[in-house]
Structure 1
Amino acid sequence: MTQGDIWRFDATELAALTQAGELSAKEVISDALERMHQVNPSLNAVVDDLGTEALERASALDQARRNGASVGPLHGVPVTIKVNVDQKNHATTNGVVALKDVIAPDDAPVVSNLHNAGAIVIGRTNTPEFSFRADTDNPLHGRTHNPWGRHISPGGSSGGAGAAVMAGIGALAHGNDIGGSLRFPAAANGAVTVKPGLGRVPAWNPSQKAERGMLAQSMSVQGLITRSAKDLHLSMPTLIAPDARDPFHVPMPWRGAGPDVPIKVAFTKNTFEYALHPEVDKALSTAREALVDAGYIVEDIDPPDVFECGRIGYRALMGEVLTLMKNDIEAAGSQTIRDIFEVYFQEFPPIVGDELIQALAQRSHYARQWSLFMQKYPLVLSPFLPQPFFKPDRDTEGAEGVHEVLGCAVYSYAMNFLGLPAASVPARLAELPNGPQPINVQIAARRWREDMAVDAAVAIEARVGQMAPILWDRMSAQT
């Protein structure tokens, strides 16, 4: 191990080395910053460099260790934070020019929890305007590029997080997800994530002036994007630590009771009205084989109606957006984001008024159907998107573009509406005309059982391998 190679270690490896005293926090952070300064100029994933305070924190942690202080589970692990979450004394821009001077008075719960575990924030990552695109670009910070190539969107809204962690900028990347904003960047960049279920991770921004709408509260969650599935088992117990500022947080342990074994997995390739691309088909088959080899029982069976649930859920969310956000978008958004929202409202006709109340009531019906189904099948293996990830700015190309980007992503936002956890893990590296591109699959799990979804992701990753080393070789060859 030499200086200049430390950034290659994943979070689990780094934590073991720092806890054993084989690496100091300052050594780890110095190397992470060097990597960030090397590759970020071409990616624009990190838009706020926190190198100076990161080194100061690393030195303080090293001194505390020398004085006999105990170390946390993420001692010295470099992380990034998305710019739509409060970090004390830094701007919570949400990708909006008008918010560039909104300085957070305190840390959000996820930032506090990461700090308490010994993690060190090295930078803040990019997001689209209002964090409401599956791509990442905005007039304030500019476009984020996918490290696999500029022909692939980096995903959104946590596109900066996904691009950063896969390029080797930090071992963990914070993000959030109201309709897929952790899983889109994971799929775009070949990373791993788990969208936590409702109430799992405490959330609140001390800088906010008003409470969010009910669907924003119940569909949006905080999480992490990683290079390896096992890093989620290391880091997510930190993220779910209680915080009284979120009165609806559910303080449950990361690991639940051991389920009946072997675990049954419902397997579906149903993509409804959307054609299943051959490369996604192959990825799903590989994921299935990996789970079977790992001892799971995988059965071909469709879960309860994902299409109806997902479409109703996103239309209801658009109704809330129309009511609570439309004026802000019109006043502070660019013409690009205003145009995109107009097409969103066409693709997902907003449910408002009495019908919105009825749709919220119907949410319990969908959740009950899934709860009963998952008594027999605790996991559901499905596509995430029916086709390989789309190109940058595809969602600016009118109805057809938005339909490809979000319209077909029902397996994504259905899980938000249901409040169920869902992991995303690469299951294939496709050779496409523009070059190699990772293909991720989704694993939904019973309520409160993020750990089971991650276990399945670990099994798939064991068969397929991590995408990061392949990506790094490719990046080196291009430079």
Structure 2
Amino acid sequence: MTETEIWRLSGTDLAARTRAGDLTAEDAVTASIKRMAEINPDLNAVVEDLSSEALERARKLDLARKDGATPGPLHGVPVTIKINIDQAGHATSNGVTALKDLIAPDDAPVVKNLQDAGAVVIGRTNTPEFSFRADTDNPLHGRTHNPWGRHISPGGSSGGAGSAVMAGIGALAHGNDIGGSLRFPAAANGAVTVKPGLGRVPAWNPSQSAERGILAQNMSVQGLITRTAQDLHLAMPSLIATDPRDPFHVPMPWRGDAVAGPIQVAFSKETYGYDLHPQVDAALEVARAALVDAGYLVEEIQLPDVFDAGRTGYRALMGEVYALMKSDIDAAGSQTVRDIFSVYFEEFPPFAGQELLQMMAKRTHYARGWSLFMQDYPLVLTPFLPQPFFKPDRDTEGAEGVHEVLGCAVYSYAMNFLGLPAASVPARLAELPNGPQPINVQIAAPRWREDLAVDACQAIESRIGRMCDVLWEKMADRA
């Protein structure tokens, strides 16, 4: 195979070939590194190039295999790691200039789990300051661009991850999500992801000097952004391997028991006062039809407390951020991010004191309602955003910008507050006046059943094909 053919392979196909011995780990990594060298200067998705150590690791994997070692499930698969997660010997800068020399003493659990499975880290991807924007730009590493064009933000906070994997830099991209930071980049770039539920993936940064706030612990999760849904089935079983450094991780298998009979899907186009764009409407109809064709029973129905749960959850999170992070943001953040946070606090007035404690407790009320609802409807198909994805720096344009970027994203952060899995998958390519743009939909699932959401993503993907193939044609035409 040529190097171009190799980097185009899905993670699933690539792992099958490296494990069978049809390709070496060095072949796989070399192809991705060359693709990175070709396109990353324009995208600025990867901000720390680890090519040299990646090739050294790939050669060691090949030698170990030659000596009789059993290849791991991700043998030789190139991956990227977001710069807010510890990787031994590298800076966990989180997009903040003051943290540029915060060198990790050890690997975070997700880095260890990926490498234990045979994956090879080829680079570290960009994030906004403090990983707290739905766009990706910072004074330390600069702006990341969307491979579809500069008319669309790459999303955030895992914007470097989404841009890299869809452009062909690595088959898997690590990211994380406290309010949408896996799903925003997936939607922006036309990628696939599943935000795992609470307790699913072990998490901890050995470099941290204090524990995070309790809502940050309960709402933030680690995950992967991929080009195909099948790649999530390939890689997530390795990512969820237990790690004693996360005392609240729940060691459960990736696949749950089969659901008896046709799976019922609750379907809603409700946007809670925001206008539903015709292209998002069309994407939802494609997704619904694909699921029906695949044998799901899809019913349009009112959902329990999405808006209230989402707004309450994000206002509570802003209360915790105000109390625990505001001084750091004021001291180390740029004027841009300080201004954005000021508007966040206007859009989501922070709960404080007794009211904050009451709203944190109310989380269980919302989660119980959804748990009961999902006894009948194990999957929930909704918009992710009511409009096509926004332009770069839209969240710097005051209250109106933040309202469009984050205020309308209740389906996103509601799932973080509830602790439920939520997948994002492209269902349409919209040809808009400013250029082509993928449109993703969201599929929520019950606790511990990420696999059901990914299965549904596969059904939708089978209808529209791989969005990356369309993207690569358009990138080649622009070159």
TM-score, structure 2 as length reference = 1.00
Amino acid at match of 2:126: N
Counterpart in the other structure of 1:29: 29
Could you tell me how far apart the structure 2 residues matched to 1:463 and 1:11 are? Answer: 20
Counterpart in the other structure of 1:178: 178
Counterpart in the other structure of 1:419: 419
Could you tell me how far apart the structure 2 residues matched to 1:461 and 1:352 are? Answer: 43
1:353 aligned to 2:327?
no
Deviation for aligned residue 1:352 = 0.9
Could you tell me how far apart the structure 1 residues matched to 2:384 and 2:17 are? Answer: 35
5+ residue gaps, structure 2: none
Counterpart in the other structure of 1:393: 393
Could you tell me how far apart the structure 2 residues matched to 1:470 and 1:3 are? Answer: 19
Residue deviations 1:218-239 (CA, integer Å, cap 9, x gap): 0000000000000000000000
Deviation for aligned residue 1:324 = 0.3
Q: How much is the aligned-residue C-alpha RMSD, in angstroms?
A: 0.4
Counterpart in the other structure of 2:407: 407
Deviation for aligned residue 1:436 = 1.1
Q: State the identity %.
A: 77
SS in 2 for 1:372: helix
Deviation for aligned residue 1:5 = 2.2
Residue deviations 1:362-394 (CA, integer Å, cap 9, x gap): 110000000000000000000000000000000
SS in 2 for 1:173: strand
Amino acid at match of 2:161: A
Could you tell me how far apart the structure 2 residues matched to 1:394 and 1:181 are? Answer: 16
Deviation for aligned residue 1:300 = 0.7
Deviation for aligned residue 1:305 = 1.2
Amino acid at match of 1:11: G
Counterpart in the other structure of 1:201: 201
Could you tell me how far apart the structure 1 residues matched to 2:374 and 2:302 are? Answer: 12
Counterpart in the other structure of 1:89: 89
Amino acid at match of 1:179: G
Counterpart in the other structure of 1:131: 131
Could you tell me how far apart the structure 2 residues matched to 1:211 and 1:261 are? Answer: 44
Counterpart in the other structure of 2:333: 333
Q: Are the aligned partners of 2:151 and 2:435 in contact in 1 as well (CA < 8 Å)?
A: no
Deviation for aligned residue 1:206 = 0.1
Could you tell me how far apart the structure 2 residues matched to 1:265 and 1:254 are? Answer: 21
Amino acid at match of 2:418: L
SS in 2 for 1:47: strand
Deviation for aligned residue 1:340 = 0.1
Could you tell me how far apart the structure 2 residues matched to 1:96 and 1:471 are? Answer: 31
Deviation for aligned residue 1:4 = 3.0
Counterpart in the other structure of 2:235: 235
Counterpart in the other structure of 1:121: 121
Counterpart in the other structure of 1:466: 466
1:304 aligned to 2:301?
no
Could you tell me how far apart the structure 2 residues matched to 1:241 and 1:352 are? Answer: 36
Counterpart in the other structure of 2:441: 441
Could you tell me how far apart the structure 2 residues matched to 1:2 and 1:343 are? Answer: 50
Could you tell me how far apart the structure 1 residues matched to 2:436 and 2:336 are? Answer: 30
Amino acid at match of 1:341: F
Could you tell me how far apart the structure 1 residues matched to 2:3 and 2:120 are? Answer: 18
Residue deviations 1:373-421 (CA, integer Å, cap 9, x gap): 0000000000000000000000000000000000000000000000000
Counterpart in the other structure of 2:152: 152
Could you tell me how far apart the structure 1 residues matched to 2:177 and 2:240 are? Answer: 15
SS in 1 for 2:365: helix
Could you tell me how far apart the structure 1 residues matched to 2:195 and 2:2 are? Answer: 35
1:276 aligned to 2:276?
yes
Question: Residues 364-383 of structure 1 correspond to what in structure 2 (within 5 A)?
Answer: 364-383=364-383
Amino acid at match of 2:402: V
Could you tell me how far apart the structure 1 residues matched to 2:431 and 2:35 are? Answer: 28
Deviation for aligned residue 1:3 = 2.6
Could you tell me how far apart the structure 1 residues matched to 2:200 and 2:352 are? Answer: 28
Could you tell me how far apart the structure 2 residues matched to 1:376 and 1:184 are? Answer: 28
TM-score, structure 1 as length reference = 1.00
Could you tell me how far apart the structure 1 residues matched to 2:29 and 2:284 are? Answer: 37
Deviation for aligned residue 1:255 = 0.4
Could you tell me how far apart the structure 2 residues matched to 1:435 and 1:146 are? Answer: 12
SS in 1 for 2:3: coil
Amino acid at match of 1:301: I
Deviation for aligned residue 1:464 = 1.0
Amino acid at match of 1:230: Q
Could you tell me how far apart the structure 1 residues matched to 2:127 and 2:57 are? Answer: 25
SS in 1 for 2:121: strand
SS in 1 for 2:201: coil
SS in 2 for 1:138: coil
SS in 2 for 1:5: helix
Amino acid at match of 2:18: T
Deviation for aligned residue 1:302 = 1.8
Could you tell me how far apart the structure 2 residues matched to 1:54 and 1:4 are? Answer: 19
Residue deviations 1:249-279 (CA, integer Å, cap 9, x gap): 0001000111122000000000011000000
Could you tell me how far apart the structure 1 residues matched to 2:334 and 2:44 are? Answer: 20
Amino acid at match of 2:164: A
Counterpart in the other structure of 2:169: 169
SS in 2 for 1:4: helix
Amino acid at match of 1:117: A
SS in 2 for 1:211: coil
Could you tell me how far apart the structure 2 residues matched to 1:134 and 1:195 are? Answer: 15
Could you tell me how far apart the structure 2 residues matched to 1:197 and 1:294 are? Answer: 25
SS in 2 for 1:345: helix
Could you tell me how far apart the structure 2 residues matched to 1:105 and 1:30 are? Answer: 27
Counterpart in the other structure of 1:49: 49
Could you tell me how far apart the structure 2 residues matched to 1:230 and 1:261 are? Answer: 23
